[in-house]
């Protein structure tokens, strides 16, 4: 299967799951918010109805008569209510409209019942075809014949003048019942509006989630895809590097096996070729294993499994300069070093730092022609240490300076093959620098040489630490 198609399908699957999960979260959240808002509005409406009922009860309780036929008194208390069985005055005066204290007469209606549940008085705007018998349930919700919903509250109405003889225990202890109701048209309109907003907004939000999930999945898959491409390129390069010496080695072995008895004197020369190709394979495998171990060591180092130790860079640069003297002498290259007198320490792995500087020096010697110069310098600042390797070699083009740290990349393949390079030296150097929390940069121009600079965090040596401690004590005194 094509790798691009594979990653595209993975991206599509990731976007689908992300959009699906976000859709479920949005659905549950929207439904929860909708239910919470509706319940809050419903509870506020019921509290308002109960508050009006309590106000009316407290206002009319002292005025209620003890008689069982309170028609005349009810007309005085509730002048805008219609008495059951009599003509209804639908045009009360301004004073009469404010007697009860209900501000919105178009929304609320009132019904009064005696203690037996018989209807005594009612508002003219009550829902049509309401039953005349009392429903003693505290709360009722119903729909009228015109399709409008209503919600009403029923409470017991007491009278301060009511007297119940002791010889009539069957009398009801209350004067009657007060029923307050209101239309649910505004509430249903608000509910429909919220439902319309949710029904319209959810698909739009889900579409935005789908688009963003596709974009985010692309961002998430991009480093994986790049890593996969790098891994493919690395595999191809490693196979190419291994195939050439293996082919040469097998061809040489096959030639030795077919060599006639009369030409046995050429066997030592051919065996030297086998040895050279075997060493090249061994070096390649060693470098690959070293890179792998560096990556594993990086994970362990970040997790704190193996802490670094103080390493003296003065001794390291001095030893490497002496080690490469024989090689530069044979190549007719002048190798010098500039090392300060004071010792410079960094935290790290000494063998890895040795390999880092060694690779940089070997790379400089490899690309410097006969008669050239290579200078290794060690400098220190307040918080950092710089190891620089400068050569007068062929230089590096600006377009290739960002790729020289890639594995198996070589600026001049023919030259590096002749000198035995396999394109892993700078990749190893960069990995070691990253592992030591440093930075490796290059400055170069074609035909003018190259300058590699390694910046590493510096630690103070023992003498400097003692001097700082003494200075701190003197300042404290």
Give the pLDDT confidence of 50-66 residue by residue, as tens digits: 998 888 888 777 777 66
What gap in Å lies between CA 434 and CA 26, rounded to an integer? 43
| Statement: residue 418 has pLDDT above 50 | no
Task: Tell me which of 87-91, 324-328, 348-352 is least confident.
Answer: 87-91
Which range among 139-153, 183-197, 344-358, 401-415 shows the weakest confidence by mean pLDDT?
Answer: 401-415
Return the CATH class of domain 308-465: alpha beta
Query: What per-residue confidence (pLDDT) applies to 377?
Result: 93
Cα(116)–Cα(84) distance, integer angstroms? 15
pLDDT at residue number 194 = 92
Cα distance between residue 153 and residue 108, in whole Å: 11
* pLDDT at residue 366, as a whole number: 87
Across 169-180, b (16+ Cβ under 10 Å) vs e yields eeeeeebbbbbb
Question: Given pLDDT bands bounded at 50, 70 and 90, which one contains residue 278?
Answer: confident
Q: Please choose, from the candidates 395, 356, 394, the residue with its C-alpha nearest in 3D space to the C-alpha of residue 376.
A: 356
Tell me how far apart the alpha carbons of residues 430 and 356 are, in angstroms, rounded to a whole number. Answer: 8
The β-bridge relationship of strands 334-338 and 373-380 is parallel
Cβ atoms of 45 and 182 within 8 Å: the answer is yes
Average pLDDT over residues 12-16: 90
Neighbours of 389 (CB within 10 A): 25
* 439-448 pLDDT per residue, tens: 999 998 888 8
The whole-number average pLDDT for the span 364-372 is: 89
Q: Residue 334's pLDDT band (boundaries 50, 70, 90)?
A: very high
pLDDT at 189: 92
Predicted confidence at residue 411, as pLDDT, reads 61
Q: How would residue 299 be classed by pLDDT, with cut points 50, 70 and 90?
A: very low
Q: What gap in Å lies between CA 288 and CA 286, rounded to an integer?
A: 5
**Is residue 200 scored above 60 in pLDDT?**
yes
pLDDT at 7: 83
Q: What is the pLDDT of residue 426?
A: 84
Answer yes or no: is pLDDT of 322 > 80. yes
Output phi, psi for 25, to 5 deg: -65, -45
d(CA 64, CA 49): 21
- The bridge status of strand 450-457 relative to strand 439-444 is antiparallel
Q: Quick one: how far is CA 163 from the chain centroid?
A: 74
The arithmetic mean of pLDDT across residues 138-145, rounded, is 91
Please state which of the ranges 49-53, 270-274, 424-428, 441-445 shows the lowest mean pLDDT. 270-274
Supply the pLDDT for residue 422. 62
Give the residue, 472 or 65, on which the prediction is more confident: 65
What is the pLDDT at residue 445?
85
What pLDDT sits at residue 96?
Answer: 44
In angstroms, the CA 223 to CA 218 distance is 9
Predicted local confidence at residue 436, as pLDDT: 86
Output the pLDDT for position 95. Answer: 42
Q: What is the pLDDT of residues 208-224, one digit of tens each?
A: 999 999 998 888 888 88
pLDDT at 413: 43
Q: Give the 3-state DSSP-derived string for the chain, with helices as H, strands as E and coil as C.
A: CCHHHHHHHHHHHHHHHHHHHHHHHHHHHHHHHHHHHHHHHHHHHHHHHHHHHHHHHHHHHHHCCCCCCCHHHHHHHCCCCEECCCCCCCCCCHHHHCCCCCCCCCCEEEEEEECCCEEEEECCCCCCCCCCECCCCCEEEEECCCCCEEEEEEEEECCCCCCCCCCCCCCCCCCEEEEEEEECHHHHHHHHHHHHHHHHHHHHHHHHHHHHHHHHHHHHHHHHHHHHHHHHHHHHHHHHHHHHHHHHHHHHHHHHHHCCHHHHHHHHHHHHHHHHHHHHHHHHHHHHHHHHHHHHHHHHHHCCCCCCEEEEHHHHHHHHHHHCHHHHHHCCCEEEEECCCCCCEEEECHHHHHHHHHHHHHHHHHCCCCCCEEEEEEEECCCEEEEEEEECCCCCCHHHCCCCCCCCCCCCHHHHHHHCCCCCHHHHHHHHHHHCCCEEEEEECCCCCEEEEEEEECECCHHHHHHHHHHHHHHHC
Higher pLDDT, residue 78 or 111: 111
- Enter the tokens of residue 217: 């999945």
Mean pLDDT, the chain, integer: 79
The pLDDT score that the predictor gives to residue 212 is: 92
What are the tens digits of pLDDT across the range 102-116?
546 678 888 888 888
Cα–Cα distances (Å) from 398 to 179, 180, 361, 403, in that order, read 90, 87, 21, 10
Specify whether the CB–CB gap between 379 and 388 falls below 8 A: yes
The percent of residues in the chain predicted with pLDDT above 90, rounded, is 22
Would you tell me which CATH number, out of the four given (3.30.310, 3.40.630, 3.30.450, 1.10.1060), belongs to the domain 3-161+169-192?
Answer: 3.30.450
pLDDT band for position 391 (cuts 50, 70, 90): very high
Q: What is the pLDDT of residue 8?
A: 85
- Give residue 161's pLDDT band: very low, low, confident or very high (50, 70, 90): low
Average pLDDT over residues 396-404: 81
Range with the lowest mean pLDDT among 89-103, 126-140, 182-196, 265-279?
Answer: 89-103
| Residue 32's pLDDT band (cuts 50, 70, 90) | very high
Residue range(s) in the chain whose domain bears CATH number 3.30.565.10: 308-465
Range 28-53 burial, b when 16+ CB lie within 10 A, else e: eebeeeeeeeeeeeeeeeeeebeebb
CATH 3.30.450 occupies which residues in the chain?
Answer: 3-161+169-192
The confidence band for 160, taking pLDDT boundaries of 50, 70 and 90, is: low
């Amino acid at each position: 299967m094509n790798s691009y198609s594979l990653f595209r399908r993975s991206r599509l699957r990731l976007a689908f799951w992300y959009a699906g999960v976000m859709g479920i979260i949005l659905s549950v959240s929207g439904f929860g918010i909708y239910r919470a808002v509706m319940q809050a509005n419903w509870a506020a409406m019921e509290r308002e109805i109960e508050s009006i009922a309590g106000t009316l009860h407290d206002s009319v309780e002292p005025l209620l008569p003890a008689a069982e036929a309170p028609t005349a008194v009810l007309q005085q208390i509730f002048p805008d209510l219609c008495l059951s069985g009599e003509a209804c005055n639908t045009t009360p005066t301004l004073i009469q409209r404010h007697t009860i204290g209900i501000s919105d007469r178009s929304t609320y209606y009132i019904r009064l019942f005696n203690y037996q549940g018989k209807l005594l008085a009612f508002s003219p705007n009550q829902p049509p075809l309401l039953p005349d018998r009392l429903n003693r349930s505290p709360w009722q919700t119903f729909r009228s014949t015109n399709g409008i919903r209503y919600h009403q509250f029923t409470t017991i109405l007491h009278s301060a003048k009511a007297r119940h003889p002791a010889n009539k225990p069957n009398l009801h202890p209350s004067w009657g019942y007060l029923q307050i109701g209101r239309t649910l048209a505004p509430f249903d309109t608000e509910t429909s509006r919220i439902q319309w907003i949710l029904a319209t907004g959810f698909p739009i939000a889900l579409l935005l989630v789908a688009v963003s999930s596709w974009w985010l999945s692309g961002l998430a898959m991009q480093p994986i895809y790049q890593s996969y491409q790098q891994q493919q390129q690395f595999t191809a390069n490693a196979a190419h590097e291994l195939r050439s010496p293996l082919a040469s080695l097998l061809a040489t072995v096959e030639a030795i096996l077919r060599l006639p008895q009369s030409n046995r004197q050429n066997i030592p020369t051919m065996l030297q070729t086998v040895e050279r190709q075997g060493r090249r394979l061994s070096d390649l495998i060693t470098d690959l294993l070293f890179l792998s171990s560096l990556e594993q060591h990086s994970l362990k180092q970040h997790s704190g499994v193996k802490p670094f130790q103080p390493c003296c860079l003065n001794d390291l640069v001095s030893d490497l300069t002496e080690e490469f003297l024989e090689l530069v002498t044979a190549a007719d290259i002048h190798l010098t070093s500039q090392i300060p007198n004071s010792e410079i320490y960094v935290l790290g792995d000494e063998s890895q730092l040795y390999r880092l500087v060694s690779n940089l020096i070997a790379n400089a010697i490899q690309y410097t022609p006969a008669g050239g110069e290579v200078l290794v310098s060690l400098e220190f600042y307040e918080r950092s240490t710089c190891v620089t390797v400068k050569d007068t070699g062929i230089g590096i083009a600006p377009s290739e300076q960002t790729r020289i740290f890639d594995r198996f990349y070589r600026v001049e393949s023919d030259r590096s093959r002749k000198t035995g390079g396999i394109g892993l030296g700078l990749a190893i150097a960069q990995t070691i620098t990253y592992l030591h929390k440093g930075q490796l940069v290059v400055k170069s121009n074609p035909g003018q040489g190259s300058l590699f600079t390694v910046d590493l965090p510096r630690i103070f040596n023992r003498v400097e630490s003692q001097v700082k401690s003494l200075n701190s004590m003197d300042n404290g005194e």
